[in-house]
Amino acid sequence: MNTYNPVTDEVVTALKNIVGEKYVKTDAATLDVYKADESLAPSFWRTPEVVVSAGSTEEVSQIMKVANTYRVPVTPRSAGTSVSCGAVPAFHGIVLLMERMNHILEFNEDGMYMSVEAGVRTIDIQNMAHSKNLMYAGDPCSADSCLIGGNLATNAGGNKAVRYGTTRHQVYSIEVVLPDGKVTTLGATLKKCSTGFCLDQLIIGSEGTLGIITKAVLKLVPLCPYKLDVLAVFTDLSKATALVPKLIKAGLNPTSVEFMDNNFVRSASDYSELRLPHYEDGCYDIISIETFNEDELDDKMEKLAAICEACGATDVVEADDRVWKVRRNCLESTRIFSKVATSEDLVVPVTKIADCIQTLVDESKKYDFRVFCLAHAGDGNLHFQILKCDMSDSAWEKQLKEFRAVAYRYVYDLGGRLSGEHGIGLKRLDYMEQYTDPVELDLMKTIKHAVDPNWILNPGKVISAC
Amino acid sequence: MNTYNPVTDEVVTALKNIVGEKYVKTDAATLDVYKADESLAPSFWRTPEVVVSAGSTEEVSQIMKVANTYRVPVTPRSAGTSVSCGAVPAFHGIVLLMERMNHILEFNEDGMYMSVEAGVRTIDIQNMAHSKNLMYAGDPCSADSCLIGGNLATNAGGNKAVRYGTTRHQVYSIEVVLPDGKVTTLGATLKKCSTGFCLDQLIIGSEGTLGIITKAVLKLVPLCPYKLDVLAVFTDLSKATALVPKLIKAGLNPTSVEFMDNNFVRSASDYSELRLPHYEDGCYDIISIETFNEDELDDKMEKLAAICEACGATDVVEADDRVWKVRRNCLESTRIFSKVATSEDLVVPVTKIADCIQTLVDESKKYDFRVFCLAHAGDGNLHFQILKCDMSDSAWEKQLKEFRAVAYRYVYDLGGRLSGEHGIGLKRLDYMEQYTDPVELDLMKTIKHAVDPNWILNPGKVISAC
Of residues B360, B446, B343, B442, the one with CA closest to residue B405: B360
ipTM: 0.96
For residue A222, list its beta bridge partners: A134
What's the number of domains chain A is made of?
3
User: What is the rounded average pLDDT of the residues B235-249?
Assistant: 88
The verdict on a CB contact (< 8 Å) between A437 and B185 is: yes
**Same domain assignment for residues B259 and B218:** no
**Same domain assignment for residues B238 and B385:** yes
What pLDDT does residue B466 have?
56
The verdict on a CB contact (< 8 Å) between B195 and A417 is: yes
Chain B: closest CA distance from residue A225 (Å) = 10
Identity of the residue numbered B34: Y
**Same domain assignment for residues A336 and A235:** yes
Q: Which residue has the higher pLDDT, B217 or A343?
A: B217
Give A-chain residues touching B378 at CB under 8 angstroms. 191
Give A-chain residues touching B432 at CB under 8 angstroms. 195-196
Name the 3-class secondary structure at A59: helix
Q: Which one of A173, A188, A222 terminates a domain? A: A222
- Total residues found in chain B within this entry: 466
Chains A–B, number of C-beta pairs less than 8 Å apart: 268
The CATH number of residue A201's host domain is: 3.30.465.10
Query: B442 lies in a domain?
Result: no
**Same domain assignment for residues B209 and B234:** no
**Same domain assignment for residues A71 and A118:** no
- What letter would DSSP give residue A24? E
A191, A197, A347: residue with CB nearest B447: A197
Q: How many CB atoms are located within 10 Å of the residue A19 CB?
A: 21
Give residue B131's pLDDT band: very low, low, confident or very high (50, 70, 90).
Answer: very high
Query: B343 lies in a domain?
Result: yes
Question: With contact defined as beta carbons under 8 Å apart, do A436 and B196 qualify?
Answer: yes
B291, B381, B451: residue with CB nearest A446: B451
Angle between helices A353-364 and A393-413 (to 10 degrees): 150
The dihedral built from the CA positions of residue A233, A236, A242 and A246, taken in this order, carries a sign that is negative
Query: B334 lies in a domain?
Result: yes
User: What is the rounded average pLDDT of the residues B242-255?
Assistant: 87
Give B-chain residues touching A441 at CB under 8 angstroms. 196
**Same domain assignment for residues A190 and A115:** yes
Phi, psi of B269 (to 5 degrees): -65, -45
What pLDDT does residue A466 have?
56
Q: Which residue has the higher pLDDT, B299 or B114?
A: B114
**Same domain assignment for residues A217 and A341:** no
pLDDT, chain B, mean? 95
What pLDDT does residue A448 have?
98
Interface test with B, best of A81, A193, A247 (most B CBs within 10 A): A193
Q: Which one of A191, A222, A253 terminates a domain? A: A222
Domain limits at A51? 9-100
What pLDDT does residue B465 have?
80
Give B-chain residues touching A463 at CB under 8 angstroms. 196
The verdict on a CB contact (< 8 Å) between B420 and A381 is: no
pLDDT value at B246 more than 90: no
Name the 3-class secondary structure at A36: coil
**Same domain assignment for residues A134 and A163:** yes
User: What is the rounded average pLDDT of the residues B107-130?
Assistant: 97
Q: How much is the CA Rg of chain B, to the nearest whole Å?
A: 23
Which range (A253-267, A356-370, B67-81, B245-259) has the least confidence?
B245-259
- Tell me the per-residue pLDDT of A29-56, one tens digit each, with 9 for 90 and over: 999 999 999 887 788 999 999 999 999 9
Question: With contact defined as beta carbons under 8 Å apart, do A462 and A444 qualify?
Answer: yes
Query: A436 lies in a domain?
Result: no
Comparing alpha-carbon positions, the chain B residue that sits nearest to A154 is B194
What pLDDT does residue A449 have?
97
Q: Which one of A397, A413, A429 terminates a domain? A: A413
The verdict on a CB contact (< 8 Å) between A110 and B249 is: yes
pLDDT value at A276 more than 70: yes
**Same domain assignment for residues A253 and A133:** no
Query: A380 lies in a domain?
Result: yes
The verdict on a CB contact (< 8 Å) between A110 and B184 is: no
pLDDT value at B292 more than 90: no
- Tell me the per-residue pLDDT of B206-239, one tens digit each, with 9 for 90 and over: 999 999 999 999 999 999 999 999 999 999 998 9
Phi, psi of A106 (to 5 degrees): -155, 140
**Same domain assignment for residues A244 and A388:** yes
Which range (A283-287, A290-294, A425-429) has the least confidence?
A290-294
pLDDT value at A416 more than 90: yes
**Same domain assignment for residues B261 and B355:** yes
The verdict on a CB contact (< 8 Å) between B155 and A347 is: no
Helix or strand holding residue A176 (H, E): strand A171-177
The CATH number of residue B29's host domain is: 3.30.43.10
pLDDT value at A186 more than 70: yes
**Same domain assignment for residues B155 and B295:** no
